[in-house]
């Protein structure tokens, strides 16, 4: 597996990471624990060194899964997790945002225990908390870095001004936000700012929550616990309309003898050398398919053809339900 550095930081990771959320959270029923451990270890065996989790995934259970799976190879991998929500310990339901310094410290301690480790390699603020100045958040992470409990600071779904303010206090190693063939908004302001500041970019949902793999259509039925049931972009009407995008991607991928998923990932990788996508999966054959994308080279002509194809389609539906969209910093 090829390696990439996240921005100007010294943090080097595999060109593709593994988003572990779907093993425990959001996409239907959690996988069997041993199955999840086996998948994570299979990723390690295939060269993946970058694993993404969060206290909110489960909540808590995904960190426990990742910690157990990676314990035997802890010094060979980079683990990213996140703070920023308050979870009711009794019900394990989120109460809302909380990035107060004392809460960040509490979460860091709990994450270390669940992950079975003595340091968090990359600690993201999961969502920007408008009630807490970002300078206070960055200062708290700076202190945790000084104490050796955290190695690198990250932000998720943060806007340009927030990124700049945080970076002035404690250098931000990476921003994690959605980016893919069907969500290109980061190209407008985010990517230029990251390049200017020397910050890496970690796109989540680079496969459009599965849609860009070409395996979902208007007739697909999701598990009752799958959050895509609430996402406007995944309504049957939107899926039917967005099928035109898949058809165009599929035609180009077919000519290159690769899958639509591989082309979607290769496209993200081709945007900048400091971008590291973190596709998730619960299936070994999908993991292998995704990882093969790291070796696919798209030429300038390929990228121009993809751009022309995307320009012919207007993607239908918002990427988040309204309540989740309110948590995105602008």
Q: Which residues are catalytic?
A: 57
312 vs 199: CA distance, rounded Å: 32
DSSP 8-state assignment for residue 168: H
Grouping H, G, I as helix, E, B as strand and the rest as coil, residue 51 is strand
Structure tokens at 174: 């990476």
Structure tokens at 9: 């930081």
Q: Which of 9, 16, 5 is nearest to 151 (CA)?
A: 9
208 vs 104: CA distance, rounded Å: 30
12 vs 158: CA distance, rounded Å: 22
Strand pairing of 3-5 and 12-14?
antiparallel
With residue 203 as reference, give the H or E element that holds it: strand 200-204
292 vs 19: CA distance, rounded Å: 16
112 vs 268: CA distance, rounded Å: 31
Place of tokens 């936000």: 177
Do 317 and 147 meet the contact criterion of CB atoms below 8 Å apart? no
277 vs 263: CA distance, rounded Å: 13
Q: Which of 133, 167, 164 is nearest to 153 (CA)?
A: 167
Structure tokens at 321: 């339900």
């Amino acid at each position: 597996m090829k390696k990439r550095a996240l921005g100007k930081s010294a943090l080097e990771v595999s060109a593709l990471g593994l988003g572990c959320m779907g093993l425990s959270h959001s996409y239907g029923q959690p996988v069997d624990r041993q199955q999840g451990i086996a998948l994570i270890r299979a990723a390690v065996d295939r060269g993946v060194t970058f694993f993404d989790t969060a206290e909110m995934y489960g909540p808590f259970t995904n960190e426990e899964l990742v910690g157990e799976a990676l314990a035997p190879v802890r010094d060979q991998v980079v683990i990213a997790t996140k703070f920023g929500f308050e979870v009711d310990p009794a019900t394990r339901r989120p109460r809302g945002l909380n990035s107060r310094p004392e809460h960040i410290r509490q979460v860091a301690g709990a994450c270390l225990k669940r992950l079975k480790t003595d340091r968090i390699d990359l600690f993201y603020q999961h969502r920007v908390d408008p009630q807490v100045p970002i300078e206070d958040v960055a200062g708290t992470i700076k202190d945790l870095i000084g104490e050796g409990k955290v190695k690198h600071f990250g932000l998720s779904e943060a806007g340009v001004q927030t990124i700049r303010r945080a970076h002035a206090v404690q250098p931000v190693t990476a921003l994690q936000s959605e980016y893919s063939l069907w969500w290109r908004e980061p190209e407008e302001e985010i990517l230029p700012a990251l390049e200017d500041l020397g910050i890496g970019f970690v796109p989540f949902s680079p496969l459009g929550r599965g849609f860009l793999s070409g395996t979902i259509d208007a007739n697909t039925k999701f598990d009752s616990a799958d959050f895509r049931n609430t996402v406007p972009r995944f309504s049957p009407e939107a899926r039917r309309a967005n099928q035109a995008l898949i058809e165009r991607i599929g035609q180009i991928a077919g000519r290159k003898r690769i899958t639509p998923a591989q082309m979607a990932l290769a496209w993200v990788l081709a945007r900048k050398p400091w971008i590291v996508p973190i596709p998730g999966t619960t299936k070994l054959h999908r993991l292998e398919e995704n990882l093969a994308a790291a070796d696919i080279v798209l030429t300038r002509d390929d990228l121009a053809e993809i751009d022309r194809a995307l320009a012919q389609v207007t993607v239908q539906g918002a990427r988040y339900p309204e309540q989740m969209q309110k948590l995105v910093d602008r």
